[in-house]
């Protein structure tokens, strides 16, 4: 007998028919004698709809509220956490109709405690006592993902987009589960997003470090924090498909320690992010303190700056500084820099939103030289211009025009030998 946490994402619970299919996966594990806690996301599209309603409700209306009046982030959470409550209840109903004892749990009922960062709260602790008592009675716990409660205020909190992954892994850690299975609409972690590159290959295993980089650099298959929690607590986590036949299950991809991977490629995967915007300040005085005058105000506004490049201009008195910010912060960042133009002292400010970041990840980069250089050559041969580059121990990233995203991903995928064999593609 094992203790399992199973998580089902939005596409897997998109309607009642799919919830019935999820219930068949749960039943298989229950019939095998396992103790089971299930974490569910909202039906696909539901969280987007809820977020849009919050924005609409907060819009300025003449004579009603002032333009830009801030709304309470705790109310955002109160609204967006509702999607997961619906699917938790529906799955519990379906399980009971199949003769399986089950009940739904809201985050606050367990409770899952979080900090006070509404909208992107961090889990501070989970009391698994009541769920374990349920296991003793043979009861399946169906837990609403993505949410918790701030114990200081009693307000509902949410964990950031994609946060049900983190709910599941953190619950598995708290319950000391033998395994956490993240069921989604792909049958594992691939060398890159299979929606972009048809030759992407499923990985049997990927290390925590590489998965962390893949997720941070845009592979939305797992939320970044879920990988952190799995790594810190050593949770045995699989990514697998809910669309597999419940009677013929396959384990998918195991996220594990580097030592547990026998065959290690130099590059394990390619990730990309559309969530980038570029800002360039031209003719900035080349003197001490100028970088601080640009980046301190952005940091104070909680804007994350990612890639930074500084170019010395011909007269050695001026420089150009280029950097990237998340797309969602672009307008705010431009406004802050324009307001601070006198203190910074620049000739011109330019911005581009049609840029993307493409990254290659692999622990093999620690011991191999020239890995990034090959990419620069390969991209140049396809006529793809690189706007900025960053490298670190196990990854490098390039910023390019959005129009070249697919070509760049596929080019790097082929270049590093990640493509599936032609015969396996032909056989499909
Ligand atoms: P869920 O709703 O189950 O949480 P997500 O949409 O959040 O599912 O994540 C699954 C999606 O992640 C896949 O459909 C796939 O398009 C995307 N994805 C991005 N990169 C990868 C990758 N390297 N391997 C597998 N899937 C990936
Ligand atoms: N429903 C939430 C979202 O779409 C959480 C999740 O699916 O993991 O972000
Ligand atoms: Mg997800």
- Are 216 and 273 spatial neighbours (Cβ–Cβ below 8 Å)? no
Residue 342 burial by Cβ neighbours in a 10 Å radius (0-12, 13-18, 19+): exposed
CA of 241 to the centre of ligand 1 (A): 11
CA of 10 to the centre of ligand 2 (A): 7
Question: SS3 sequence, 50-80?
Answer: HHHHHHHHHCCCCCCCCCCCCCCHHHHHHHH
Asked if residue 427 has pLDDT above 60, the reply is no
| 166 touches ligand 2 (CB under 6 Å) | no
Q: Which residues partner with 158 through β-bridges?
A: 147
Q: Give the pLDDT confidence score for residue 424 in this predicted structure.
A: 64
Of the ligands numbered here, which is closest to the C-alpha atom of 168?
2
**pTM score of the predicted model:** 0.93
pLDDT band of 60, cuts 50, 70, 90: confident
Q: Which helix (H) or strand (E) holds 9?
A: none
Residue 376 to residues 38, 108, 358, 360, 370, Cα–Cα distance (Å): 45, 50, 12, 12, 10
The residue among 204, 264, 257, 252 whose CA lies nearest residue 231 is 257
Give first-to-last CA distance, the chain, whole Å. 37
* Residue range 118-131, pLDDT digits in tens: 999 999 999 999 99
Asked if residue 426 has pLDDT above 90, the reply is no
DSSP 3-state of 262:
coil
Of the ligands numbered here, which is closest to the C-alpha atom of 83?
2
**C-alpha to C-alpha distance for 257 and 363, rounded to whole angstroms:** 12
CA of 216 to the centre of ligand 3 (A): 13
Residues lining ligand 1, judged by CB closer than 6 Å? 9-12, 41, 162, 184-186, 189-190, 192-193, 195, 214, 219-221, 269
**C-alpha to C-alpha distance for 420 and 206, rounded to whole angstroms:** 17
| 218 touches ligand 2 (CB under 6 Å) | no
Asked if residue 238 has pLDDT above 80, the reply is yes
Of the ligands numbered here, which is closest to the C-alpha atom of 120?
2
Q: Give the pLDDT confidence score for residue 61 in this predicted structure.
A: 76
Asked if residue 423 has pLDDT above 70, the reply is no
CA of 149 to the centre of ligand 3 (A): 21
Q: Which atom of ligand 2 is closest in space to residue 223's alpha carbon? A: 8
The residue among 152, 150, 46, 49 whose CA lies nearest residue 107 is 150
- Are 225 and 166 spatial neighbours (Cβ–Cβ below 8 Å)? yes
* Residue range 240-249, pLDDT digits in tens: 999 999 999 9
Give long-range contacts, CB 8 A cutoff, 24+ apart: 421-426: 425/198, 425/199
CA of 119 to the centre of ligand 1 (A): 21
**C-alpha to C-alpha distance for 11 and 43, rounded to whole angstroms:** 7
């Amino acid at each position: 007998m094992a203790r399992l946490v199973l998580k089902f994402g939005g596409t897997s619970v998109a309607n009642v028919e799919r919830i019935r299919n999820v219930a068949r996966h749960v039943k298989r594990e229950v019939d095998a004698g396992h103790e089971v806690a299930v974490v569910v996301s909202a039906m696909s599209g539901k969280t987007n709809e809820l977020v849009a309603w919050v924005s609409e409700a907060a819009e300025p209306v003449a004579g009603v509220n002032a333009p830009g009046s801030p709304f309470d982030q705790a109310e955002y959470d109160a609204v967006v956490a509702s999607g997961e409550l619906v699917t938790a209840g529906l799955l519990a109903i379906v399980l009971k109709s199949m003769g399986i004892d089950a009940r739904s749990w809201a985050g606050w009922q367990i409770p899952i405690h979080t900090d006070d960062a509404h909208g992107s709260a961090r889990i501070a602790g989970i009391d698994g006592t009541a769920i374990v008592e349920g296991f003793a009675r043979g009861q399946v716990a169906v837990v609403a993902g993505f949410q918790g409660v701030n114990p200081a205020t009693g307000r509902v909190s949410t964990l950031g987009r994609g946060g049900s992954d983190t709910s599941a892994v953190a619950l598995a850690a708290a319950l000391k589960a033998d395994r956490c299975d993240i069921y989604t609409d792909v049958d594992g972690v691939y060398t890159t997003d299979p929606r972009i590159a048809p030759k992407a290959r499923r990985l049997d295993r990927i290390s925590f470090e590489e998965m962390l980089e893949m997720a941070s650099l845009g592979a939305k298959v797992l939320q970044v924090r879920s990988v952190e929690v799995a790594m810190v607590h050593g949770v045995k986590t699989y990514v697998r498909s809910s669309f597999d036949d419940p009677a013929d299950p396959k384990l998918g991809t195991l996220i594990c320690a580097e030592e547990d991977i026998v065959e290690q490629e130099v590059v394990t995967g390619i990730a990309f992010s559309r969530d980038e915007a570029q800002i360039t300040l031209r003719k900035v005085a080349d003197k001490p303190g100028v970088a601080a005058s640009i980046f301190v105000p952005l940091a104070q506004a909680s804007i994350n700056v990612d890639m930074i490049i500084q170019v010395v201009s011909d007269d050695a008195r001026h420089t150009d500084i280029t950097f990237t910010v998340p797309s969602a912060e672009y307008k705010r960042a431009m406004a802050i820099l324009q307001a601070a133009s006198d203190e910074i002292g620049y000739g011109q400010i330019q911005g581009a939103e049609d840029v993307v970041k493409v990254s290659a990840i692999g622990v093999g980069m620690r011991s191999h030289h020239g890995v990034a250089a090959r990419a620069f050559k390969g991209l140049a041969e396809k006529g793809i211009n690189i706007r900025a580059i960053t490298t670190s121990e196990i990854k490098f990233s390039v910023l390019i025009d959005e129009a070249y995203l697919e070509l760049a991903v596929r080019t790097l995928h082929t270049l590093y030998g990640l493509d599936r064999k032609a015969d396996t593609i032909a056989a499909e």
